[in-house]
Amino acid sequence: MADTQEMLGHLGINVPDLTTAKRYYDALMPLVGFETFFATDDEFSYKPVDNKPGTFIFFYPTAAAGAYSAEQTGLQHLAFMVRRRSVVDKVHNHVVAAGGSVIHAPQHFPQYPGHYYATFWSDPFGIKLEAVCHHARD
Protein backbone atom coordinates (compact mmCIF):
# COMPACT_ATOMS: atom_id res chain seq x y z
CA MET A 1 0.00 0.00 0.00
CA ALA A 2 1.25 3.49 -0.83
CA ASP A 3 2.13 5.99 1.85
CA THR A 4 -1.00 7.14 3.62
CA GLN A 5 -1.96 10.71 4.32
CA GLU A 6 -2.80 11.88 7.80
CA MET A 7 -6.56 12.14 7.94
CA LEU A 8 -9.55 10.76 9.76
CA GLY A 9 -9.45 7.03 8.94
CA HIS A 10 -13.03 6.01 9.57
CA LEU A 11 -16.26 6.82 11.36
CA GLY A 12 -18.51 4.28 13.02
CA ILE A 13 -22.24 4.96 13.25
CA ASN A 14 -24.74 2.90 15.23
CA VAL A 15 -28.20 2.47 13.72
CA PRO A 16 -31.29 0.76 15.15
CA ASP A 17 -32.10 -1.19 11.97
CA LEU A 18 -29.11 -2.42 9.96
CA THR A 19 -31.21 -3.71 7.06
CA THR A 20 -33.03 -0.39 6.59
CA ALA A 21 -29.76 1.51 6.96
CA LYS A 22 -28.00 -0.63 4.36
CA ARG A 23 -30.81 -0.21 1.84
CA TYR A 24 -30.84 3.58 2.44
CA TYR A 25 -27.08 4.10 2.31
CA ASP A 26 -26.52 1.71 -0.62
CA ALA A 27 -28.66 4.10 -2.69
CA LEU A 28 -27.15 7.31 -1.28
CA MET A 29 -23.43 6.66 -1.05
CA PRO A 30 -22.65 6.37 -4.79
CA LEU A 31 -24.19 9.84 -5.24
CA VAL A 32 -21.65 11.33 -2.79
CA GLY A 33 -18.60 9.45 -4.07
CA PHE A 34 -18.51 6.27 -1.98
CA GLU A 35 -18.64 2.57 -2.79
CA THR A 36 -19.08 -0.54 -0.69
CA PHE A 37 -15.99 -1.55 1.26
CA PHE A 38 -17.44 -4.70 2.83
CA ALA A 39 -20.63 -6.01 4.41
CA THR A 40 -21.38 -8.79 6.91
CA ASP A 41 -24.46 -9.75 8.88
CA ASP A 42 -23.53 -7.36 11.70
CA GLU A 43 -21.87 -4.40 9.95
CA PHE A 44 -21.36 -2.74 6.58
CA SER A 45 -19.08 -0.02 5.31
CA TYR A 46 -18.19 2.34 2.48
CA LYS A 47 -14.97 3.83 1.15
CA PRO A 48 -14.21 6.65 -1.27
CA VAL A 49 -14.58 5.48 -4.89
CA ASP A 50 -11.60 4.44 -6.98
CA ASN A 51 -9.33 4.11 -3.92
CA LYS A 52 -9.24 7.87 -3.46
CA PRO A 53 -8.00 9.02 -0.06
CA GLY A 54 -10.75 9.79 2.42
CA THR A 55 -12.63 8.66 5.46
CA PHE A 56 -14.32 5.24 5.47
CA ILE A 57 -17.78 4.99 7.06
CA PHE A 58 -18.91 1.94 9.04
CA PHE A 59 -22.44 1.14 10.25
CA TYR A 60 -23.14 -1.09 13.24
CA PRO A 61 -26.33 -2.24 14.98
CA THR A 62 -27.29 -0.16 18.00
CA ALA A 63 -26.56 -2.03 21.23
CA ALA A 64 -28.61 0.28 23.47
CA ALA A 65 -31.96 1.75 22.43
CA GLY A 66 -32.26 5.52 22.23
CA ALA A 67 -33.14 8.23 19.78
CA TYR A 68 -30.46 10.16 17.89
CA SER A 69 -30.34 13.91 18.41
CA ALA A 70 -28.03 16.42 16.76
CA GLU A 71 -28.57 18.53 19.89
CA GLN A 72 -27.01 16.02 22.31
CA THR A 73 -23.39 15.11 22.93
CA GLY A 74 -22.03 13.10 20.02
CA LEU A 75 -22.33 13.33 16.27
CA GLN A 76 -23.91 16.61 15.16
CA HIS A 77 -24.03 15.74 11.44
CA LEU A 78 -22.08 14.20 8.56
CA ALA A 79 -21.14 16.39 5.61
CA PHE A 80 -20.24 14.85 2.25
CA MET A 81 -18.10 17.13 0.07
CA VAL A 82 -18.94 16.89 -3.62
CA ARG A 83 -17.24 18.48 -6.64
CA ARG A 84 -20.19 20.25 -8.23
CA ARG A 85 -23.31 22.12 -7.20
CA SER A 86 -25.30 19.92 -9.55
CA VAL A 87 -24.37 16.94 -7.37
CA VAL A 88 -25.80 18.76 -4.33
CA ASP A 89 -29.01 19.22 -6.34
CA LYS A 90 -28.96 15.56 -7.45
CA VAL A 91 -28.60 14.37 -3.84
CA HIS A 92 -31.45 16.64 -2.78
CA ASN A 93 -33.67 15.26 -5.56
CA HIS A 94 -32.80 11.72 -4.46
CA VAL A 95 -33.72 12.51 -0.84
CA VAL A 96 -37.04 14.06 -1.88
CA ALA A 97 -37.88 11.14 -4.22
CA ALA A 98 -37.12 8.70 -1.40
CA GLY A 99 -39.52 10.56 0.90
CA GLY A 100 -36.71 11.94 3.05
CA SER A 101 -36.96 14.76 5.55
CA VAL A 102 -35.26 17.85 4.10
CA ILE A 103 -33.90 20.36 6.61
CA HIS A 104 -32.52 22.88 4.08
CA ALA A 105 -33.06 22.70 0.33
CA PRO A 106 -29.97 23.37 -1.82
CA GLN A 107 -28.77 26.92 -1.36
CA HIS A 108 -25.76 29.15 -0.83
CA PHE A 109 -24.99 29.69 2.86
CA PRO A 110 -23.41 33.18 3.04
CA GLN A 111 -22.67 32.80 6.76
CA TYR A 112 -19.92 30.29 5.89
CA PRO A 113 -16.65 31.34 4.23
CA GLY A 114 -16.15 31.08 0.48
CA HIS A 115 -18.52 29.24 -1.79
CA TYR A 116 -20.75 27.06 0.39
CA TYR A 117 -23.62 25.48 -1.52
CA ALA A 118 -25.33 22.73 0.43
CA THR A 119 -28.44 20.76 1.27
CA PHE A 120 -29.22 19.21 4.67
CA TRP A 121 -31.57 16.34 5.46
CA SER A 122 -32.21 13.53 7.94
CA ASP A 123 -31.71 9.84 7.25
CA PRO A 124 -34.44 7.33 8.27
CA PHE A 125 -33.15 7.40 11.87
CA GLY A 126 -32.97 11.17 12.18
CA ILE A 127 -29.22 11.43 11.64
CA LYS A 128 -28.49 14.82 10.10
CA LEU A 129 -26.64 14.65 6.76
CA GLU A 130 -25.31 17.27 4.37
CA ALA A 131 -24.04 17.39 0.80
CA VAL A 132 -21.82 20.44 0.22
CA CYS A 133 -19.90 21.91 -2.68
CA HIS A 134 -17.17 24.45 -1.88
CA HIS A 135 -16.90 25.66 -5.48
CA ALA A 136 -18.88 28.07 -7.63
CA ARG A 137 -18.72 25.62 -10.54
CA ASP A 138 -21.47 23.34 -11.70
Domains of the chain: 7-63 (3.10.180.10), 75-138 (3.10.180.10)
pLDDT reported for residue 68: 80
Residues 6+ apart with CB under 8 A from 72: none
- Average pLDDT of the residues of the chain: 92
Q: Model-level pTM?
A: 0.91
Q: How many CA atoms, within 13 angstroms, populate the side-chain half-sphere of residue 90?
A: 15
Query: What are 51-82's pLDDT values in tens digits?
Result: 999 999 999 999 888 878 878 878 899 999 99
